[in-house]
Amino acid sequence: MTEKAYRSGFVGLVGRPNAGKSTLLNYLVGEKIAAVSNKPQTTRYKIRGIVSRPESQIVFIDTPGVHKPGYLLNRRMMAAVEDAVLSVDVVVLIRDANVSTGNGDRFVLDLVKRSGKPAILLLNKIDKLRTKETLLPLIDFYRNEHDFAAIIPASALKGEAVETLLGAIDEHLPEGEPLFDEDDLTDQPMRMIVAEMVREKILASTGEEIPYVTAVVTEKWDETDPEKPVIHCAIFVERPSQKGIIIGKGGAKLKAIGTAARADIEKLLGRHIHLQLFVKVVEDWRNKERELNEMGVSE
Ligand SMILES: Nc1nc2c(ncn2[C@@H]2O[C@H](COP(=O)(O)OP(=O)(O)OP(=O)(O)O)[C@@H](O)[C@H]2O)c(=O)[nH]1
Ligand SMILES: [Mg+2]
């Protein structure tokens, strides 16, 4: 018997906002590198996570949830999804199995069909399902719509059926050498991951419009003290009133955001840091090319 050839390639994670794409990415790489929240449109740019196993290396691309774009920001987010779908070897459509099928789901399905790539359907959040019977009509619907390479009920949160997913992906990857070092979890710049961790804490601690009008940029990373680098992050909002909400009474909210983000960042870096946060008001940044470029939300 001949030994199975080593495989490597790219896999796009696509789906509606809140489906659990970033949760899956984090589970797969075993570290939190992508922001996760219960608010839609958490992810704003493509984030790559690398999974190296003896038989293959899979580079996952987490993408923003598919939604109707209004602002330039959102148009760029959707361009990132289109681009990801076209540049990968396999597409994984992630779908919350607890919600009924709507126009958004059809839109994502069309995107996957148009890509012409081998596609795997992941029916996520099965840990939340009251009864597994509701899965059957969902599976039927998708099976009739498209020739999926596999349909896998799973839980990204609990890691359920993730091994099955990896096995199904391997079958459709090209033979080839590893694309990254085996120890790498991501090729994302650490400055960007740090900014995402801060934004995640803002999303978790604010409601209403704040998550949508907020962006975070790491502006300075000072290693003068090698024992404890100082990281400066700017938090962008659109109006002074929003700045007030994020700072909170006597600065309490900003302090809590900083403490929570620092814990995540220190865990990922494996070292202590000093995190310095400040809030900047830039009117209508979501429609401004220059600001979006600075934030790394590329076309
Ligand atoms: N119960 C349960 N919750 C999950 C599961 N996967 C994700 N979630 C939750 O669903 C919410 C959205 O998760 P995300 O990973 O941010 O979703 P996303 O698809 O990346 O969302 P966008 O970036 O906005 O497109 C979070 O509150 C997660 O904790 C799962 O398997 N089970
Ligand atoms: Mg996400």
Tens digit of pLDDT for each residue in 67-92? 998 999 999 999 999 999 999 999 99
Residue ranges per structural domain of the chain: 7-170, 190-295
- Is the domain 190-295 a CATH 3.30.300.20 member? yes
Q: Is the pLDDT of residue 147 over 80?
A: yes
One-letter amino acid at 69 equals P
DSSP 202-256: HHHH--TTHHHH-EEEEEEEE-SSTTS-EEEEEEEESSHHHHHHHH-GGGHHHHH
Ligand 1 pocket test: pick from 16, 18, 92, 108 the residue with the most ligand atoms within 8 Å of its Cβ.
18
Instruction: Quickly state the pLDDT bin for 298 (edges 50, 70, 90).
Output: confident
Ligand 1 atom at minimum distance from 43 CA = 23
Pocket of ligand 1 (CB under 6 A): 15, 17-23, 36-38, 40-43, 64-65, 124-125, 127-128, 155-157
CATH assignment of 7-170? 3.40.50.300
pTM beyond 0.75: the answer is: yes
How many angstroms is it from 148 CA to the middle of ligand 1? 22
> Atom 16 in ligand 1: which residue has the minimum CA distance?
36
CA distances to 160, 225, 237 from 195, in Å: 29, 21, 14
Q: What are the two backbone dihedrals, phi and then psi, of residue 283, each rounded to the nearest 5 degrees?
A: -60, 135
In this prediction, what percent of the chain has a pLDDT beyond 70?
99
Write the pLDDT tens digit of every residue in 23-49: 999 999 999 999 999 999 999 999 999
Of 224, 206, 238, 219, the C-alpha closest to 276 is 219
